[in-house]
Structure 1
Amino acid sequence: MGSDPLNLDASGEWAGLWWLPEEPGHQVPGVLRYEPECGLTLSLIGAFEDRVTTTPAPGVLMVHEGRRTWGVIHGAADQREISLFGCFPDGGQRTFGARVKTPDKQTVVATTALIGAHVGGEDEAAFSTTEVSVEDLGHWAASSVLEGFLSAPGGRPDGSGTISVKPVEVQSVEVDGTAFVLAHRHTLPFFDQRRGGTVGRMSDTTYMQITRREASSLSDAIGYARLIQDLISLATHRAAGMIWVRLKLASKDAVSEDSGLRLDRNVDVMYSPFVVGKHDAKAAAPDRVFFTCEALPFEEIIPRWCDVHERLKSATNMVLGLRYAPARYVENNLLTAVGAAEVLHRGLDIDEPPIPSSDFKPMREAMLAQVPEEHRNRIRGSLRNDPTLRDRLYALAARPDQEALSTLLPDVDRWARRTTRARNDLAHEGRTPNHELEELIVIVDVTTAVVILNLLNELGLPAERQREIARYHPQLRATARSARDWLSKSEADS
């Protein structure tokens, strides 16, 4: 069994025997295959019963419409236990009444596989630790065990130098009984001798290790992976692919003879995340990263992110959704960006009623008294003392560092008015006749940027760093230029 985690961007194959947990005596040979583009497919020589059947009387079998699915399938392949979850049949070949009796064939699709353990369900608390590797995590961590030195006496390189490994200080923090550790896994020096030369290599992999006081489940692990993935996506302002997820199974029968302590068994998770990470792809350019652990120390950012991710989950999902699955139509982007702003404002708990509640209630009753009784219930629902969309946009613009906000958006009033009109026209009329396509694109970009600045502000990003982002981040600089062209003070609303 290899010690390296199984990358989600690499194909895999496991040949062995497979069975349903409730029927361990009925084992079917087959091959499980994983492809990054297609997911998990189990090809069986034989079959599990996938028809919906009942036995109303002895010797009588009734077959009903529909197909069976299986929550869990267990297997033993390549000297490892395997658990498959979310399984359903996807074709095959049966030999009922065939002239020559041959084995049935069946294809089963699974959503998730655990390579290394038999578990009864995705919610079974069977794991002690979750380990996660995400694209650009090492860049965000701003730490490495590798150090390089070039010799340059007198300021002139002399062709000599060294690459060395030096352990870095472990960074960890506990949040509500869960420990988050920023860990490193590195290789020893390796010299690859080729016919035309020799290549020396060492590699350092940064990953997050999450350990709860109580055991966790596969569902918990996927949730932690998503938590870290979203953090890196926000920090780098692009989709962060999942490279690998590994669990630690505290096996009762795995005991060290030397120490008598329980040993954790590695369990690899194979599934189809939003984006499959490419571990060999180039990292994000430094000028496109909003923040790293140099700007916000690891011990501070993780507790804040856990709070923000839970408290503002809907707004975070909406704005990051534009990174993971960018809509191809500006109308979709408009509704998503403005919706994220509205949801964020509600989540920040700053929903001050425009009219004091003590004044609004008698006003509402006086207005309803003028409405015929048969229409009163309908009108009552429309008389609300909530902030308007424009009110919410003004409030969001007032929260981040104002110098950073003014760099990005020179005229808050015009942005709020034009954004409100575009959203209302689209929602109520199904079109935006008062806006050019280019202006709609600018409104989407500016509104997205305002939401992101608010999220960064909630995380405690220093004001100076907010200003640097607004001034120097390539995408936000382009957004600021477009805002000056389309959302300037010189043009009045029609």
Structure 2
Amino acid sequence: MGSDPLNLDASAEWAGLWWLPDDPGCRVPGVLRYEPECGLTLSLIGAFEDRITTTPTPGVLMVHEGRRTWAVIYGAADQREISLFGCFPNRSQRTFGARVKTPDKQTIVATAALIGAHVGSEDEEAFSATEVSVEDLGHWAASTVFEGFLSAPSGRPDGSGTISVKPMELQSVEVDGTEFTLMHRHTLPFFDQRRGGTIGRMVDTAYIRITRREASSLSDAIGYARLIQDLIALATHRATGVIWIRLKLVPNDAVSESGGLRPERNVDVLYSPYVVGKHDAKAAAHHHVFFTCEALSFEEVIPRWCEMYERLQSATNMVLGLRYAPARYVENNLLTAVGAAEVLHRGYDIDEPPIPSEDFKPMREAMLAQVPEEHRSRLRGSLRNDPTLRDRLYALADRPDQEALSALVPDVDRWAKRTTRARNDLAHEGRTPNHELEELMAIVDVTTAVVLLNLLNELGLSAERQREIVRDHPQLRATARNAQNWLSTSEVNS
């Protein structure tokens, strides 16, 4: 199986020598530390020159305001090459003129690191494959190498049974020249002797390998990690963290002296994603998950998600942002949820002007003719032939399965009307005097749920599964009750 990847939720450190790529002869000892909460910090015994200086004339050194940063720093530690990217000095301690001469000290912060290779930049295409593990991936994939059997003669368990490892058939799909493969790595059997008993265990980890026809970069790898991370966040309806990223580096001398191909070298990535995955945390509860690969196969969902992700990324980012970093105030969440609905509708690229263009243009010119010339340019920008927010909300309500939508939003007319009023009041007046707090919260939850239902429908989730989600998911059941209580004409009039 080889060495395990470096988990982003585990601390680590490397003591070695560090240098700038354009000055390999000047190597400074130091320790690189990674902490999940703080990121990457390089502590040097010695220092790189971080002052910004010029020499206008020989013998004259001018020191300018600011501090130097470094795109890349190389290192060698624990028999591995290390590349640090986006580096800037955090603290420097110089000893010029000190009574007792001691080494300089310098602390450098880096935004990302490659453990196992020297690479010139985050965009250098030096890797043959990217491997990504994120939280709940195995649960979503509905795939494991383990099989369990309980012995039950005469219909009753007798206390015996087995757990076995079975070979897994690879699931793979190609999207625009990039291959996505669902893979597993598992540990060998391990018996942990405790004073009170013995624990036997194995660990199965699901991950996705992404292989392009051409080489890829660190920036590409982080982009792929986010692509997978956001897919699982949508499927599980909760924030999803990145557990590890590993790259495959093919050496320049890919052919060995014996004529055979050299194995690809593992290169681990350390950086600070917006959520760090906890590899030992409990998986999402089954009834909290919108869908797994049992409902929509891996080979189906990956191509659809790749296409959707590019086309609808802004709307996806906004609605998933309510999972990753929910605002403390309902007004922020209102603008985010309604903004996601507007952006999603625009992303469908189905806008039809409410008034035919051939009719609207002469109407606009006739109206502008009645306006003093000095105000025409200002008014011209206000006369737009676009769908209103209410039009867009109605259009979104028409796209998912209608039985599921009606269970979620029993009164579409009132939801669209009250949502539009709340957003307009907040955006134009800076407050929402016509809505109670509970109604605003209901608007946020219902609008978010409508956007999510649209994304699931666009992904190809069946009408039956959409109905099951609205009926069985605890949060969507609560959202439907709030919609009935606060966004239903019958309840308002009762």
Pairwise TM-score range, normalised by the shorter structure: over 0.9
The equivalent of 2:464 in structure 1 is: 464
Q: How far 1:469 sits from its partner (Å)?
A: 0.3
**For 1:461 and 1:258, how far apart are their aligned partners in 2?**
52
The Cα offsets for residues 25-59 of structure 1, whole Å up to 9 and x where unpaired, read as: 11100000000000000000000000000122222
The equivalent of 2:33 in structure 1 is: 33
Q: How far 1:287 sits from its partner (Å)?
A: 0.4
The equivalent of 1:94 in structure 2 is: 94
Q: How far 1:196 sits from its partner (Å)?
A: 2.4
Q: How far 1:384 sits from its partner (Å)?
A: 0.4
The equivalent of 2:8 in structure 1 is: 8
The equivalent of 1:60 in structure 2 is: 60
**For 2:492 and 2:481, how far apart are their aligned partners in 1?**
19
Gaps of 5+ in 1: none
**For 1:191 and 1:170, how far apart are their aligned partners in 2?**
29
The equivalent of 1:47 in structure 2 is: 47
Question: Is the Cα–Cα contact under 8 Å of residues 232 and 240 in structure 1 kept in the other structure?
Answer: yes
**For 1:316 and 1:258, how far apart are their aligned partners in 2?**
51
The equivalent of 1:364 in structure 2 is: 364
Q: State the secondary structure of the residue aligned to 2:351.
A: coil
Q: State the secondary structure of the residue aligned to 2:319.
A: helix
Relative distance call for 1:91 and 1:2 in structure 2 (3 A) is: farther
> Percent same amino acid among aligned pairs?
85
Q: How far 1:256 sits from its partner (Å)?
A: 5.4
Q: State the secondary structure of the residue aligned to 1:278.
A: coil
| One-letter identity of the residue aligned with 1:252 | N
The Cα offsets for residues 110-144 of structure 1, whole Å up to 9 and x where unpaired, read as: 00000000000000000010000000000000010
| One-letter identity of the residue aligned with 1:221 | A
Tell me which moved more, 340-349 or 60-69: 60-69
Question: Is the Cα–Cα contact under 8 Å of residues 31 and 42 in structure 2 kept in the other structure?
Answer: yes
Question: Is the Cα–Cα contact under 8 Å of residues 17 and 27 in structure 2 kept in the other structure?
Answer: yes
The equivalent of 2:452 in structure 1 is: 452
Question: Is the Cα–Cα contact under 8 Å of residues 256 and 263 in structure 1 kept in the other structure?
Answer: no
Q: How far 1:263 sits from its partner (Å)?
A: 1.4
CA RMSD of aligned residues (A): 1.3
The equivalent of 1:147 in structure 2 is: 147
**For 1:386 and 1:180, how far apart are their aligned partners in 2?**
39
The equivalent of 1:421 in structure 2 is: 421
Task: Please state if 1:156 is matched with 2:138.
Answer: no
Q: State the secondary structure of the residue aligned to 2:377.
A: helix
Question: Is the Cα–Cα contact under 8 Å of residues 330 and 441 in structure 1 kept in the other structure?
Answer: yes
The equivalent of 2:272 in structure 1 is: 272
The Cα offsets for residues 441-479 of structure 1, whole Å up to 9 and x where unpaired, read as: 000000000000000011010000000001000100010
The Cα offsets for residues 242-285 of structure 1, whole Å up to 9 and x where unpaired, read as: 10000001112365577701311000000110000000000000
Q: State the secondary structure of the residue aligned to 2:24.
A: strand
| One-letter identity of the residue aligned with 2:335 | L
**For 1:158 and 1:252, how far apart are their aligned partners in 2?**
59
The Cα offsets for residues 58-93 of structure 1, whole Å up to 9 and x where unpaired, read as: 222111110011010000011100000000000121
Question: Is the Cα–Cα contact under 8 Å of residues 130 and 245 in structure 1 kept in the other structure?
Answer: yes
The equivalent of 1:331 in structure 2 is: 331
Q: Looking at secondary structure, tell me which structure has more strand per residue.
A: 1
Residue correspondence of structure 1 range 21-420 to structure 2 within 5 A: 21-253=21-253, 255=255, 260-420=260-420
Question: Is the Cα–Cα contact under 8 Å of residues 144 and 204 in structure 1 kept in the other structure?
Answer: yes
TM score, norm. by length of structure 1 = 0.98
TM score, norm. by length of structure 2 = 0.98
The Cα offsets for residues 220-240 of structure 1, whole Å up to 9 and x where unpaired, read as: 000000000000000000000
Q: How far 1:491 sits from its partner (Å)?
A: 5.4
**For 2:339 and 2:258, how far apart are their aligned partners in 1?**
59
**For 1:217 and 1:46, how far apart are their aligned partners in 2?**
31
**For 2:256 and 2:263, how far apart are their aligned partners in 1?**
7
**For 1:56 and 1:263, how far apart are their aligned partners in 2?**
52
Question: Is the Cα–Cα contact under 8 Å of residues 114 and 270 in structure 1 kept in the other structure?
Answer: yes
The Cα offsets for residues 279-313 of structure 1, whole Å up to 9 and x where unpaired, read as: 00000000010011011011110000000000000
**For 2:204 and 2:138, how far apart are their aligned partners in 1?**
9
Question: Is the Cα–Cα contact under 8 Å of residues 192 and 200 in structure 2 kept in the other structure?
Answer: yes
Aligned residues: 493
Q: State the secondary structure of the residue aligned to 1:26.
A: coil
Q: How far 1:199 sits from its partner (Å)?
A: 1.1
**For 2:188 and 2:491, how far apart are their aligned partners in 1?**
63
| One-letter identity of the residue aligned with 1:166 | K
**For 2:195 and 2:492, how far apart are their aligned partners in 1?**
71
**For 1:88 and 1:170, how far apart are their aligned partners in 2?**
43
Q: How far 1:390 sits from its partner (Å)?
A: 0.3
The Cα offsets for residues 122-178 of structure 1, whole Å up to 9 and x where unpaired, read as: 000000100000000000000100011111112211000000000111000000000
Question: Is the Cα–Cα contact under 8 Å of residues 484 and 491 in structure 2 kept in the other structure?
Answer: no
Question: Is the Cα–Cα contact under 8 Å of residues 409 and 480 in structure 1 kept in the other structure?
Answer: yes
**For 1:123 and 1:380, how far apart are their aligned partners in 2?**
44
Q: State the secondary structure of the residue aligned to 2:434.
A: coil
**For 1:262 and 1:459, how far apart are their aligned partners in 2?**
40
